[in-house]
Structure 1
Amino acid sequence: MFALFLRLLATLVLSSLIMVVKLTAQSGVAFPEILFWRQVPTVFLILGWLALRGEVSRLRTKRLPVHARRAVMGMTGMFFTFGAPLLLPLAESTTFGFTTPIFAVILSVLLLKETVGPVRWLAVALGFAGVIVIAQPGTTHIPPLGAAVGLGAGFMVALISIQVRDLGRTEESLSIVFWFAALSSPLLALSLPFVMTHHTPWQWFLLLSGGVLGCVGQILLTAALRYGQVAAVVVMDYSALAWATLYGWLIWDELPPASTWLGAPLIIAAGAVIAWREHLHNKQISPAAASSGE
């Protein structure tokens, strides 16, 4: 129950992060700068916390090149994850993000040469049917670019999870999160001279809030997996749709159309089936640190 609570709280925090990112972009802050400030507080929060405990040595690693590759992939994932809600209503962008387990199945076959049974392939087909219901190709409700970015976010998190699974063999989650932020921040800083402008106090509040929410959300995700297995707690992730719908309604006066309410259960059901099958096979498809795509 404690693990479920932590995962539910993490979902609320990360849903709030997505909302803050969208508000920040609409206030006039450039997207690359938003990503920069999303990462920087994580470096100082983790480093400061470990320094107070005298445990900075926990960040030592012999796999810095692997962390660097993961940072590049993670930045790409952030562009998709945070770009989707800028192009789509919150509820729709959140629902497209639920396709991560579906892409994880496909990637496990292509990259890891794993054997996937008919149940999981049926779940993959069910999930993509939900995507078609929501996107309604040929209509104007969902912009094609927005749908592509939303699906790209799900794909990148699945791809990153495979790399994080490998890093997790030798590195602890806190180290993975730290090095992702520490290595990606300087790269993102290269864009600041071209995009950074004067900010109002409200914009600074939004920027710093995004960084703190991102760090806290990742720590909560990690903590949830210390007390429960992925398949047991992942169901809480789907509560993000409720938070996205609530934020969309309160702030942007947006409510999902009928197609979203019809397609979302198909995608959620597909993810739940895949998670359950992975549980039966004693595998984890979405490590907590993979969520640093948020």
Structure 2
Amino acid sequence: MQPLRGIFFKLIAVMCFITMTSLIKAVSGEVPPGEAVFFRSFCALPIILAWLAVRGDLRTGLRVENPMDHVWRGFIGTMAMGSMFAGLAFLPLPEVTALGYAMPLLVVVFAAMFLNERVGVFRIGAVALGLIGVLIVLAPRVTSLGGDTVRTMEAVGALIVILGAVCGALAQIFIRKMVQTEQVSAIVFWFSCTSTGMALLTLPFGWVLPTPAQAAMLVCAGLIGGVGQIFLTSSYRFADASLVAPFDYASMLFAILIGYFIFEEVPTLQMLLGATLIVFAGLIIILRERQLGIQRDKARQAKLPHG
């Protein structure tokens, strides 16, 4: 294990993903989300293939045991990505980022529902705290439903982002089951393939011919997203997941800076308060997962024969 290297790679991945999201936001007013998903997924494929070739995993890394698992994971994951991209057209970047943090909270709930994982009072309390934060962020948007057109679209955008968080959490549940039989490299590669194909299904619903500048941003978003995926996966090779997971929340700092200097978006105090509660709840869950992991390791070691 090389924890500092793992943290460094995770921060690079976070920067890549927030840069990718910013590029998508820059074109979101003109380019429909389905088309953005296509560019994000298709342009990442060469990067992922090159990475597999360098690692020597090109043959084994593309092998699948349960093809339909990849199809369903691709469908749910594409819904999550498309919803997040759609929300970028209506909401400030920091707000979309904050609402996206609901995903790990929902993973805890769905893991109890679908994977029969035991969830104690401690984590239930953390999830409740985080969901209060989500409601604080959502409140100004939901209360504006039925107002003028702009405010109504912002409210719809917020609800779409929450839908994306729900789908993203379900996708994580699929991945938790898939890693028992599938290689991580195969999950990454075939998700890009399936999301590319599913994004193409939205072609009849209003794709546009992007300008050269828009096309460049879309292609860069896909390439940067592919690089981010590689660094994300690599970070878990050098450090425990519980160590690098908290650095996901560095994306809020990057989102605030990019939103302010690039998109002239000033976060409200209410949004910052809600985001703080969500981040705090997420950190509590991560620390609890780490503690439970240590306890499970000790229990396994205690059962091993000695002497």
In the alignment, which residue of structure 1 is the partner of 2:39? Answer: 37
Please state how far the C-alpha of 1:194 moved relative to its aligned partner. Answer: 5.0
SS of the aligned residue for 2:222 comes to helix
The separation in 2 between residues aligned to 1:9 and 1:150, in whole angstroms, is 24
**Equivalent runs, 1:176-195 vs 2, <5 Å:** 176-192=187-203, 195=206
Cα distance change on mapping 1:282 and 1:33 into 2, 3 Å = same
- Greater alpha carbon shift after TM alignment, 53-62 vs 226-235: 53-62
Please state if 1:81 is matched with 2:112.
no
1:276 matched residue in structure 2: 287
Q: CA 1:191–1:102 in 2, change beyond 3 Å: closer, same or farther?
A: closer
Of 65, 69, 74, 1:71 maps to: 74
Give matches, 1:126-165, under 5 Å: 126-136=129-139, 139-140=143-144, 143-165=154-176
Q: Does 1:15 align with 2:26?
A: no
In 2, are the aligned partners of 1:101 and 1:275 still within 8 Å (CA)? no
Deviations 1:91-140 (A, max 9, x none): 11100111122111111221122221111111111111112222225644
Stretch deviating more after TM superposition (204-213 or 40-49): 40-49
Which letter maps to 1:234? Answer: A
The code of the aligned residue for 1:208 comes to V
Evaluate the alpha carbon distance shift between residue 185 and residue 257 of structure 1 in structure 2; reply closer, same or farther with a 3 A threshold. Answer: same
1:258–1:40 distance in 2 versus 1, CA, 3 Å: same
Q: CA RMSD in A?
A: 2.0
Matched pairs, number: 282
TM-score (ref. length: structure 2): 0.85
Q: Secondary structure at the match of 2:262?
A: helix
AA partner of residue 31 (structure 1): P
**2:107 corresponds to 1:108:** no
Distance of 2:119 and 2:99 partners within structure 1: 23
Structure 1 Cα separation of the partners of residues 56 and 268 of structure 2: 52
Deviation at 1:48, TM superposition (A): 4.1
Measure, in 1, the Cα distance between the counterparts of 2:56 and 2:207: 36
1:123 to 2:126 alignment? yes
Alignment gaps of 5+ in structure 1: 284-294
Q: Does 1:199 align with 2:202?
A: no
The 3 A distance-change label for structure 1 pair 160 and 208 is same
Indicate conservation of the 8 Å contact 1:32/1:195, yes or no: no
Query: CA 1:254 to 1:191, structure 2 compared with 1: closer, same or farther past 3 Å?
Result: same
Take 1:189 and 1:254, find their aligned partners in 2: how far apart are those partners? 32
The alpha carbon displacement at 1:259 in A equals: 0.3
Equivalent position amino acid for 1:176 in 2: I
Given that 1:91 and 1:256 are in contact with CA atoms closer than 8 Å, whether structure 2 keeps it comes out as yes
- Secondary structure at the counterpart of residue 64 of structure 2: coil
Distance 1:222 1:128 in 2: 28
CA deviation digits over 1:58-117, x for unaligned, max 9? 212222121111111111111122222222111111001111221111112211222211
Cα separation, 2, equivalents of 1:12 and 1:174: 21
Please identify, of 172-181 and 13-22, the stretch whose mean Cα deviation from structure 2 is larger: 172-181
Aligned to 2:256: 245
What one-letter code is carried by the residue in structure 2 that aligns with 1:225? Y
Q: 1:54 Cα deviation (Å)?
A: 5.8
Is the contact made by 2:48 and 2:230 (CA closer than 8 Å) also made in structure 1?
no
Shift in CA distance, 54/115, structure 1 to aligned 2, threshold 3 Å: closer
Match of residue 226, structure 1, among 232, 237, 240 = 237
- Partners in 2 of 1:110 and 1:197 — Cα distance? 41
Indicate yes or no: 2:6 matched with 1:3: yes
